[in-house]
Chain A
Amino acid sequence: MLNSAPIFKKEVGSYFLSPMAYVVITIFLVLSGYFFYSSVAYYSLISMQAMQNPYMVSGLNLTEDLISPVFANLGIIAMLIIPMLTMRLFSEDKKSGAIELLFTYPLKDLDILMGKFFAASVVYLTPIAITLVYIAFLRSMTQLALGPILAGYLGLVLMGEAFIALGILISSTTENQIIAAIITFGVLLLLWVIGWASSFTGPTLGKILTEISLIKHFDTFSKGVIDIRDVIFYLSFTFYSLFLTCRVLESKRWRG
C-alpha cells in the first residue's frame, strides 16, 4: 500500500502557495493561446483562398492543417515548461535539509517519489485541461472529428508524464534547482531532436536514433493516431525514470 497522499497534498500546496504554479500555468496558456490563434488564423486564411479556388478545397483538412500543428506546438511548450516544474522536487529538500526529516518519517522512498510525481502531474495537467476550451471554441464554429483530438491529448498526457519522470530523476541527483532544470531541458531537447541525425547515420543507428527520439513518438499522436508502440514507449520511459530515481534515493543511504 502506498502512503503518498500527505506528500502529494503538501507538494501541490507548495506549488500553489508559491507563484510557481501560476507562472507556469500562465506561460503555458499564453504560449498555447498564441499558437492556437495563429493556427486558426492561418487556417481561415487558406480556407478563404480555397473558396476562390475550388481545386484547393479537396486538399483542406481540419485535423491535418489545424489540430496537428496545435498539438505539436503544445508538445514543445510542455518540453519548455516541465523542467521548471520538476527542478525543485528533490533539489529543494536536499538543499534545505528537509529531506533528512522526510527520510526519517515512516514512508517508503516510493511513497515520497510518487507523491511528488503526481503533484507535478497535477500542475502540468491543469493548463492542458484548460486548453480544452480552445477545442470547445473550435467545435462551436465547425464540425470536428473528436478521435484525433483524443489521441492528441493522450499523447500530451503520456509524454508529459515521461518528461516529469525524467525531471524528477535529474532533480534527485543535485541540490541545485537551476542545474536540475538546465540538465532536464538539455536532455529533453537532445532526445527530442536526436532522430534528425538518422538522415546522415547508417541505417541501423539511424533506426535506433529515430526510435528513441521523443518527437517521433509524439508525431503519431498529434496526427491523431494512437499506436500502441508509442504508448508503450512513453510508459516505459516514465517507469524506467521513476525506477532510476528510486535507486538514486536508495543510494544516498549507503553512500552516506
Chain B
Amino acid sequence: MIEIQNLTKHYGHIKAVENVSFTVNKGEILGFLGPNGAGKTTTMRVLTGFFPPTEGKVKVAGFDITEKPLEVKKRLGYLPENVALYMDMRVNDYLHFVGRIKGLKRKPLLKQKVNQVVELCGLGDVRKRLIGKLSKGYRQRVGLAQALIGDPEVLILDEPTVGLDPKQIVEIRKLIKDLGGERTIILSTHILPEVQMICERVIIINEGKIVAIDTPENLNRQLSKKLTIIMEVEGEPQKVVNTLGGVDGVIDVKQKVKKKGKIRQYEIQTVPERDIRKELAQAVLENQLGLYELRSIEMSLEEIFLKLVTQEEHHA
C-alpha cells in the first residue's frame, strides 16, 4: 500500500531524513518510534504530499507522490502533530467543509459520513460548539475525525495521543486499533507501550535513519523488560547451545566471546516472566559441562530504547 524507497529530505544543510526505505502492507498498522527530532514528522509530511522528498520514491496505493499528488491525497487521511484547526468554525461546519474538500459532493452522503465520524470520535456533545472553545482532547478528536472523513484507505497519524487524558488515550488507541484491518495506518509516537499495544510492525528511527524494523513480538523481546543471561561454559559449543536451548523458557542462545581453552561466553535470551537461572545451571551440570559464570542483565524498556538510539548516534 505504501512504498518508500531511499527517501531523503534535507532542509538546507540539515539532513532530516536519510535513505529511509520501508513498505507498509494493506491493512497493516505501522508504528513509527523515535525521539523528538528523529525525522518522524518529516517522513510523514513527505508521505502526505505536504512537501516533496529531496531524493527517493514514495508511492501510496501505486501512485507516486510527486507525479500524482492528487490521487495520493484522495486516499489519505492525515492528523498532524499540532492540529491547527479553524478556531472560529463549529465542529459540525468544519467536518462538512473537510468532507466537501474530500469529494463528498452530495448532501445526504456528506451528512451521513459526517455523522459517522462524529459518532466514531465521540464528538456528539460538542458538534455545535466552536472549535476554539474546545479542550485539547476534543480538538485532537476533531483532528482525528477530519482525517477519517471520506473513508481514506491510508491514515497517517502524527502522535495521535499527545495531550489527551489517560481515559481518552485508551479510547483513541482502541479506535485506532479497530480502524486497522481495512485501513493502512502509520502512526508515530515516542511512547513505547503505545506501539506495543496498537502496532503490528514497528520502525525505530533516529537522526533520520532507520535503526530497526520489526514486529512488536520481536521488539517486545528486545525492548520490553527482559532477562538476558550471560554464561561462561566449558564444552563443545554445539553441545552447549543444544543443552541450553533445550531448557524450558529459553528463547535464543548466542555464542559470544571465545575465552581461554574450551570456555566460551554465551548470551541467553529468556522469557521475562520467570527466572530460569537455576534450571540453566542444573542443565549445564547434568550434561557434564563446566560452569564458570552465570549472571543476568536486566534492561528496562527505556534503557534499551535509549541504547538503540545512542548506538546509532555512535555510528553517525
| A positions within 8 Å CB-CB of B | 3, 5-7, 9-10, 13-14, 17-18, 96-101, 103-108, 252-254, 256
Are A14 and B86 interface neighbours, CB within 8 A?
yes
Q: Which residues of B contact A18 (CB under 8 A)?
A: 88
Total inter-chain residue pairs, C-beta < 8 Å: 70
Cα A96 to Cα B84 in complex, Å, equals 6
Which 7 pairs, one residue from A and one from B, show the smallest C-beta to C-beta distance?
A: A97-B84, A6-B100, A106-B73, A104-B48, A98-B84, A106-B74, A96-B84
Least Cβ distance of B42 to chain A in Å?
A: 9
CB–CB A253/B51 < 8 A: yes
State whether A104 and B93 are in contact (beta carbons under 8 Å apart), knowing that A10-B86, A14-B88 are contacts in the complex: no
One digit per residue, 1 when the CB lies within 8 angstroms of any chain A CB and 0 when it does not, for chain B 258-270 equals 0000000000000
Q: Are A105's CB and B88's CB within 8 A? A: no
Say how far B49's CB is from chain A's closest CB, in angstroms.
Answer: 6
Interface positions of B from 1 to 22, Cβ below 8 Å from A: 9-12
Is the CB–CB distance between A256 and B93 below 8 Å? no
Q: How many residues of B contact A (CB 8 A)?
A: 33
Task: Say whether A256 contacts B51, CB under 8 Å.
Answer: yes
Q: Which residues of B contact A105 (CB under 8 A)?
A: 73, 98, 101-102
Name 6 A/B residue pairs within 8 A (Cβ), A-sorted.
Answer: A6-B97, A13-B93, A17-B88, A106-B101, A253-B50, A254-B52
Most buried by A among B49, B52, B86, B100: B86
Give the residues from 67 to 89 in chain B that come closer than 8 angstroms, CB to CB, to chain A.
70, 73-74, 76, 78, 80, 82-89
User: Shortest Cβ distance from A10 into chain B, in angstroms?
Assistant: 5
**A106 and B48 in contact (CB under 8 A), knowing A9-B97, A10-B97, A97-B82?**
no
CA distance A254 to B49 in the complex (A): 11
The A-contacting residues of B in range 148-207, CB under 8 angstroms, are none
